[in-house]
Amino acid sequence: VSDNVCQGDNSGTGIRIYEGSQNIIRNNTCTNKFYGISLNYYSAGNEISSNCCSQNTVGISIGQNCSNNFILSNDCSNNGASGIDLWGRSDNNTVKWNNCSGNKSGISIETCLDSVIDGNTCSDNSYYGIEIRNSPATTISNNICSVTI
């Protein structure tokens, strides 16, 4: 899935993969949607890279048992809630080299195991640069984070 422009009225999803594996989602622009890009229900082994997911409610959402995905080099800035949101037993995901600035939370992870969060820029967010809840064995390294008060 590449080189698409998905714009909306702040509802719906720009690009959604449902029970899909081994997809490459690259060079897309998803703005003014609820979710810019969303992986749901056992989507595994996907690569989401070099996309612009700005001015949505959530830039990129990975949820409901979506494991072993790679989220790389995306611009997920200026969203209403999170730049990147991993949740619901979405384990062993890699989130690297993304810009998640100007959101409420840059990167938010809840109830996920063994993920890697590395080399991201999460600056000028209003709540958290990186937020981890109930997610053991998460490796967080080499990120730049700041919160705007």
pLDDT (0 to 100) of residue 146? 83
Question: What's the rounded mean pLDDT across residues 1-22?
Answer: 95
Describe the chain by its helix, strand, coil percentages, rounded to 5. 0, 50, 50
Average pLDDT over residues 120-149: 93
pLDDT digit string, tens, across residues 55-106: 999 999 999 999 999 999 999 999 999 999 999 999 999 999 999 999 999 9
CB of 56 closer than 8 Å to CB of 78: no
pLDDT over 90 (residue 147): no
- Cα–Cα dist 123/127, whole Å: 10
